[in-house]
Protein backbone atom coordinates (compact mmCIF):
# COMPACT_ATOMS: atom_id res chain seq x y z
CA UNK A 1 0.00 0.00 0.00
CA UNK A 2 2.81 2.41 0.89
CA UNK A 3 4.49 1.66 -2.46
CA UNK A 4 1.27 2.32 -4.31
CA UNK A 5 0.76 5.64 -2.51
CA UNK A 6 4.31 6.64 -3.29
CA UNK A 7 3.91 5.78 -6.96
CA UNK A 8 0.71 7.79 -7.47
CA UNK A 9 2.28 11.26 -7.28
CA UNK A 10 5.30 10.04 -9.26
CA UNK A 11 3.12 8.71 -12.08
CA UNK A 12 1.01 11.87 -11.99
CA UNK A 13 4.15 13.96 -12.34
CA UNK A 14 5.27 11.91 -15.32
CA UNK A 15 1.87 12.32 -16.97
CA UNK A 16 2.00 16.06 -16.44
CA UNK A 17 5.48 16.19 -17.92
CA UNK A 18 4.38 14.17 -20.96
CA UNK A 19 1.37 16.41 -21.45
CA UNK A 20 3.58 19.46 -21.24
CA UNK A 21 5.95 18.01 -23.84
CA UNK A 22 3.04 17.19 -26.15
CA UNK A 23 1.67 20.70 -25.83
CA UNK A 24 5.08 22.15 -26.56
CA UNK A 25 5.38 19.99 -29.68
CA UNK A 26 1.89 20.91 -30.85
CA UNK A 27 2.53 24.64 -30.44
CA UNK A 28 4.97 25.67 -33.20
CA UNK A 29 7.94 27.77 -32.25
CA UNK A 30 8.32 31.15 -33.97
CA UNK A 31 10.34 31.08 -37.15
CA UNK A 32 13.97 32.07 -36.70
CA UNK A 33 15.36 35.02 -38.59
CA UNK A 34 17.14 33.87 -41.75
CA UNK A 35 20.90 33.47 -41.61
CA UNK A 36 22.47 36.47 -43.35
CA UNK A 37 25.90 36.63 -44.94
CA UNK A 38 28.09 37.65 -47.88
CA UNK A 39 29.72 35.25 -50.33
CA UNK A 40 33.42 34.47 -50.15
CA UNK A 41 35.37 34.82 -53.44
CA UNK A 42 35.35 31.02 -53.84
CA UNK A 43 31.61 30.81 -53.31
CA UNK A 44 31.11 33.69 -55.73
CA UNK A 45 33.12 31.94 -58.45
CA UNK A 46 31.27 28.64 -58.01
CA UNK A 47 27.86 30.26 -58.13
CA UNK A 48 28.76 32.39 -61.12
CA UNK A 49 29.76 29.27 -63.03
CA UNK A 50 26.39 27.72 -62.26
CA UNK A 51 24.59 30.88 -63.35
CA UNK A 52 26.54 30.97 -66.63
CA UNK A 53 25.12 27.51 -67.40
CA UNK A 54 21.53 28.71 -67.06
CA UNK A 55 19.26 28.31 -70.08
CA UNK A 56 16.11 30.18 -71.11
CA UNK A 57 13.05 29.06 -69.17
CA UNK A 58 10.32 27.95 -71.57
CA UNK A 59 6.99 27.27 -69.87
CA UNK A 60 3.70 25.80 -71.04
CA UNK A 61 0.79 28.16 -70.45
CA UNK A 62 -2.72 27.65 -71.83
CA UNK A 63 -1.35 25.13 -74.30
CA UNK A 64 1.35 27.45 -75.66
CA UNK A 65 5.05 27.86 -74.96
CA UNK A 66 6.23 31.15 -73.47
CA UNK A 67 9.67 32.42 -72.50
CA UNK A 68 9.28 33.52 -68.89
CA UNK A 69 12.06 36.09 -69.23
CA UNK A 70 9.68 38.00 -71.52
CA UNK A 71 6.89 37.97 -68.92
CA UNK A 72 4.23 35.57 -67.70
CA UNK A 73 1.60 36.65 -70.24
CA UNK A 74 -1.09 36.87 -67.55
CA UNK A 75 -0.20 33.73 -65.59
CA UNK A 76 -0.24 33.95 -61.78
CA UNK A 77 1.55 30.70 -60.79
CA UNK A 78 4.49 28.97 -62.45
CA UNK A 79 6.08 25.71 -61.32
CA UNK A 80 9.14 23.70 -62.33
CA UNK A 81 8.32 20.00 -61.82
CA UNK A 82 10.97 17.36 -61.01
CA UNK A 83 11.43 16.51 -64.73
CA UNK A 84 12.53 20.10 -65.38
CA UNK A 85 9.41 21.05 -67.30
CA UNK A 86 7.73 24.32 -66.37
CA UNK A 87 3.99 24.93 -66.27
CA UNK A 88 2.10 28.16 -65.65
CA UNK A 89 -1.53 28.72 -64.65
CA UNK A 90 -4.06 31.48 -64.23
CA UNK A 91 -4.20 31.03 -60.44
CA UNK A 92 -2.43 29.26 -57.58
CA UNK A 93 -5.54 27.12 -57.04
CA UNK A 94 -5.48 25.95 -60.66
CA UNK A 95 -1.76 25.22 -60.37
CA UNK A 96 -2.29 23.13 -57.22
CA UNK A 97 -4.99 21.05 -58.89
CA UNK A 98 -2.90 20.46 -62.00
CA UNK A 99 0.28 19.64 -60.07
CA UNK A 100 -1.59 17.05 -58.00
CA UNK A 101 -2.08 15.15 -61.28
CA UNK A 102 1.34 15.93 -62.80
CA UNK A 103 3.31 15.17 -59.63
CA UNK A 104 1.03 12.83 -57.61
CA UNK A 105 3.85 11.83 -55.27
CA UNK A 106 4.01 15.38 -53.93
CA UNK A 107 1.65 15.55 -50.96
CA UNK A 108 0.08 18.70 -49.67
CA UNK A 109 1.86 20.03 -46.60
CA UNK A 110 0.04 20.60 -43.34
CA UNK A 111 0.27 23.40 -40.81
CA UNK A 112 -0.81 27.00 -40.58
CA UNK A 113 1.86 28.26 -42.96
CA UNK A 114 1.34 31.36 -45.01
CA UNK A 115 -2.30 31.47 -43.97
CA UNK A 116 -1.06 31.98 -40.41
CA UNK A 117 1.46 34.55 -41.55
CA UNK A 118 -1.25 36.47 -43.38
CA UNK A 119 -3.51 36.43 -40.32
CA UNK A 120 -0.96 37.26 -37.65
CA UNK A 121 1.63 39.28 -39.53
CA UNK A 122 4.32 37.03 -38.04
CA UNK A 123 6.72 34.66 -39.73
CA UNK A 124 5.08 31.31 -40.25
CA UNK A 125 6.30 28.46 -38.00
CA UNK A 126 5.77 25.77 -40.62
CA UNK A 127 5.87 25.55 -44.38
CA UNK A 128 2.69 26.83 -45.91
CA UNK A 129 -0.39 25.04 -47.16
CA UNK A 130 0.10 27.48 -50.04
CA UNK A 131 3.49 25.85 -50.75
CA UNK A 132 3.04 22.12 -51.25
CA UNK A 133 5.35 19.61 -49.60
CA UNK A 134 8.47 19.11 -51.68
CA UNK A 135 8.70 22.66 -53.02
CA UNK A 136 10.46 25.99 -52.55
CA UNK A 137 8.08 28.90 -53.23
CA UNK A 138 8.48 32.64 -53.80
CA UNK A 139 5.71 35.24 -53.86
CA UNK A 140 5.65 38.65 -55.47
CA UNK A 141 4.05 40.34 -52.44
CA UNK A 142 4.96 40.24 -48.76
CA UNK A 143 1.61 38.85 -47.62
CA UNK A 144 2.20 35.62 -49.60
CA UNK A 145 0.05 36.93 -52.44
CA UNK A 146 0.58 37.96 -56.05
CA UNK A 147 2.45 35.77 -58.51
CA UNK A 148 3.82 32.52 -57.07
CA UNK A 149 6.94 30.84 -58.43
CA UNK A 150 8.05 27.41 -57.19
CA UNK A 151 10.60 24.67 -57.81
CA UNK A 152 10.97 21.06 -56.68
CA UNK A 153 14.37 20.14 -58.18
CA UNK A 154 17.76 21.18 -56.85
CA UNK A 155 19.74 23.81 -58.69
CA UNK A 156 20.72 27.45 -58.95
CA UNK A 157 17.94 29.51 -60.50
CA UNK A 158 18.67 32.83 -62.20
CA UNK A 159 15.52 34.79 -61.35
CA UNK A 160 15.84 37.10 -64.37
CA UNK A 161 15.16 34.02 -66.52
CA UNK A 162 11.90 33.59 -64.59
CA UNK A 163 10.83 37.27 -64.68
CA UNK A 164 11.27 37.42 -60.91
CA UNK A 165 14.49 39.35 -60.43
CA UNK A 166 14.12 42.01 -57.71
CA UNK A 167 10.44 41.06 -57.38
CA UNK A 168 10.31 38.50 -54.55
CA UNK A 169 8.84 39.67 -51.23
CA UNK A 170 8.10 36.38 -49.44
CA UNK A 171 9.17 32.75 -49.54
CA UNK A 172 8.60 29.30 -48.05
CA UNK A 173 10.75 26.17 -47.98
CA UNK A 174 8.79 22.93 -47.63
CA UNK A 175 11.24 20.23 -48.72
CA UNK A 176 12.02 16.78 -47.39
CA UNK A 177 15.47 18.08 -46.44
CA UNK A 178 17.67 21.12 -46.94
CA UNK A 179 16.85 24.79 -47.12
CA UNK A 180 17.36 27.40 -49.83
CA UNK A 181 19.67 30.40 -50.20
CA UNK A 182 18.53 33.67 -51.76
CA UNK A 183 21.16 36.02 -53.22
CA UNK A 184 21.38 39.64 -54.32
CA UNK A 185 23.80 39.98 -57.24
CA UNK A 186 26.13 42.99 -57.01
CA UNK A 187 28.50 44.10 -59.76
CA UNK A 188 32.17 43.75 -58.77
CA UNK A 189 31.19 43.06 -55.14
CA UNK A 190 30.51 39.84 -53.21
CA UNK A 191 26.83 38.93 -53.18
CA UNK A 192 24.83 39.14 -49.92
CA UNK A 193 22.58 36.18 -49.16
CA UNK A 194 19.99 34.90 -46.73
CA UNK A 195 19.38 31.25 -45.89
CA UNK A 196 15.75 30.13 -45.65
CA UNK A 197 15.47 27.16 -43.29
CA UNK A 198 13.44 24.14 -44.30
CA UNK A 199 9.92 24.14 -42.87
CA UNK A 200 9.55 27.91 -42.54
CA UNK A 201 8.07 30.90 -44.35
CA UNK A 202 9.56 34.39 -44.42
CA UNK A 203 8.58 37.93 -45.25
CA UNK A 204 11.63 39.42 -46.92
CA UNK A 205 10.91 42.91 -45.63
CA UNK A 206 11.62 41.47 -42.16
CA UNK A 207 14.96 39.97 -43.27
CA UNK A 208 17.84 42.35 -42.56
CA UNK A 209 20.17 43.21 -45.44
CA UNK A 210 23.91 43.17 -44.53
CA UNK A 211 24.44 46.83 -45.45
CA UNK A 212 21.11 48.09 -44.12
CA UNK A 213 17.47 47.84 -45.08
CA UNK A 214 15.85 44.53 -45.97
CA UNK A 215 15.95 41.80 -48.60
CA UNK A 216 12.57 42.86 -49.98
CA UNK A 217 12.68 42.98 -53.82
CA UNK A 218 16.42 42.23 -53.84
CA UNK A 219 16.48 38.52 -54.77
CA UNK A 220 18.42 37.93 -58.01
CA UNK A 221 19.04 34.20 -57.84
CA UNK A 222 18.25 31.27 -55.57
CA UNK A 223 20.11 28.06 -54.79
CA UNK A 224 18.31 25.00 -53.46
Per domain, the residue ranges of the chain are 35-223
Q: Name the region of 78 (left: φ>0; alpha: ψ -120 to 50; beta: rest).
A: beta
Q: Minimum mean pLDDT among 115-119, 123-127, 168-172: which range?
A: 115-119
Mean pLDDT of 3-21: 42
Q: Is the pLDDT of residue 13 over 50?
A: no
- Residue 41's pLDDT is 80
Residues 6+ away with beta carbon under 8 Å from 151? 79, 80, 135, 136, 157, 222, 224
Nearest to 158 by CA among 191, 180, 185, 179: 185
Give tens-digit pLDDT for 68-95: 999 999 999 999 998 999 999 999 999 9
Nearest to 151 by CA among 207, 203, 106: 106
Average confidence score pLDDT of the chain:
79
Looking at CATH, the fold of the domain delimited by 35-223 is given as Gamma-B Crystallin; domain 1 (2.60.20)
Give tens-digit pLDDT for 129-169: 689 888 999 999 998 999 999 999 888 999 999 999 999 99
Q: Is the pLDDT of residue 65 over 90?
A: yes
Amino acid sequence: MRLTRALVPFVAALCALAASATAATATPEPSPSPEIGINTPAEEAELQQQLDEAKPVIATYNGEEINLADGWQGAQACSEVPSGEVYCYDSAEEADQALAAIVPEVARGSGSGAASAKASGELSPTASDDCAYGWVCLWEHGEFTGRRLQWSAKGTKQLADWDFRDKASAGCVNRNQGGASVYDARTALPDPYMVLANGYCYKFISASYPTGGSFNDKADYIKM
